[in-house]
């Protein structure tokens, strides 16, 4: 592998999050009153690249936005975080993606994603940048052919490849065989057949995030390793998983082994629950290291 331009390249979605807080999330056919409303930069791809950047990595982002005010807001967010945008497409006549997010008083959330420009990302859009970093991180909020092409390019370049399979979808074995690490939450892991199934299909390691019960590392033939959750006062779980994934990628880019990267990422995910919103909640390197030091 030639010397990479970046520590972490993220291929994924960029949305504007429309966030409403309420005492409890509504059931089917039910209307509830909200307390507050806010708009933030978000999308799994953008959240994760900002998380990796704040965790100390030099980052690039590959994605698509619309030629609209929302798209310009997201470009400004990436610029403020010093994230390379040379592979970010701006599309005419297609709106920037949106996420409609409800957050309860118990810090639970419910999310509806409208892909917009994210759905137009192609395999050709990702190839030029996906092989430029030590670590590639992808999710499933952009078309699967683009994700597959990114994994192929990164694997050919010798990069570490990470897939966050969210939202969960049936995945081909040849795609999973390109993944060094797959990071689902418990719900996604169940839909995908569990860690043993993912490992059998070719993933080299599976990390399952379990919220307040921590995270579990599963590898072929090895004992599972569970890292307990860090104790924090949670107010909003939005983007906690993205903080985990981005911090995990940043740690691997610095040469951390899987266990230490797991602990670093768990601290980042915990800290993200202590603030409302997606990008506003993503912690910096000093805060992550301080939490780890304070809780041993």
State the average pLDDT for the chain: 93
Instruction: Give the CA distances from residue 189 to residues 25, 53, 203, 206, 227, in Å, rounded to whole numbers and listed in that order.
Output: 24, 27, 13, 9, 17
- The more confidently predicted of residues 278 and 60 is 60
Instruction: Give the CA distances from residue 209 to residues 50, 187, 247, 248, in Å, rounded to whole numbers and listed in that order.
Output: 19, 9, 13, 12
For residue 296, pLDDT over 70 is answered with no
pLDDT digits (tens, 9 = 90+) for 196-212: 999 999 999 999 999 88
Residue range 274-291: average pLDDT?
Answer: 92
- The more confidently predicted of residues 127 and 167 is 167
- Band the pLDDT of 242: cuts 50, 70, 90: very high
Please report the domains of the chain, with CATH numbers, ordered by start residue: 6-294 (3.40.1190.20)
- The more confidently predicted of residues 5 and 245 is 245
Which pLDDT score, from 0 to 100, does residue 40 have?
87
Positions annotated as catalytic residues are 242
SS (H, E, C) 48-72: HHHHHHHCCCCEEEEEEEECCHHHH
Output the pTM of the full model: 0.92
Residue range 172-176: average pLDDT?
Answer: 88
The percent of residues in the chain predicted with pLDDT above 70, rounded, is 99
Tokens representing 194 are 């569990």
């Amino acid at each position: 592998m030639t010397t990479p331009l970046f520590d972490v390249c993220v291929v994924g979605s960029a949305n504007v999050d429309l966030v409403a807080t309420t005492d409890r999330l509504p059931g089917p056919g039910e209307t509830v009153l909200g307390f507050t409303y806010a708009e933030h930069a978000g999308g799994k791809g953008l959240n994760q690249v900002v998380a990796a950047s704040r965790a100390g990595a030099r980052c690039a982002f590959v994605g698509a936005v619309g030629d609209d005010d929302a798209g310009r807001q997201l470009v400004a967010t990436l610029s403020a975080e010093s994230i390379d945008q040379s592979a970010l497409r701006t599309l005419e006549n297609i709106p920037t993606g949106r996420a409609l997010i409800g957050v309860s008083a118990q810090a639970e959330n419910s999310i509806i994603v409208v892909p917009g420009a994210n759905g137009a990302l192609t395999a050709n859009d990702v190839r030029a940048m996906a092989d430029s970093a030590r670590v590639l991180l992808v999710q499933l909020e952009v078309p699967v052919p683009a994700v597959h092409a990114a994994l192929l390019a990164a694997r050919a370049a010798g990069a570490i490849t990470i897939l966050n399979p969210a939202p969960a979808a049936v995945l081909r074995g040849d795609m999973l065989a390109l993944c060094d690490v797959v990071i689902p939450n418990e719900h996604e892991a169940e839909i995908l057949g569990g860690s043993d199934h993912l490992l059998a299909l070719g993933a080299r390691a599976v990390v399952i995030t379990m919220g307040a019960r921590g995270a579990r590392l599963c590898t072929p033939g090895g004992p599972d390793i569970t890292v307990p959750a860090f104790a924090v006062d949670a107010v909003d779980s939005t983007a906690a998983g993205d903080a985990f994934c981005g911090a995990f990628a940043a740690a691997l880019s610095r040469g951390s082994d899987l266990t230490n990267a797991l602990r670093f990422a768990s601290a980042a995910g915990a800290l993200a629950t202590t603030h409302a919103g997606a990008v506003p909640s993503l912690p910096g390197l000093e805060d992550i290291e301080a939490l780890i030091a304070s809780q041993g």
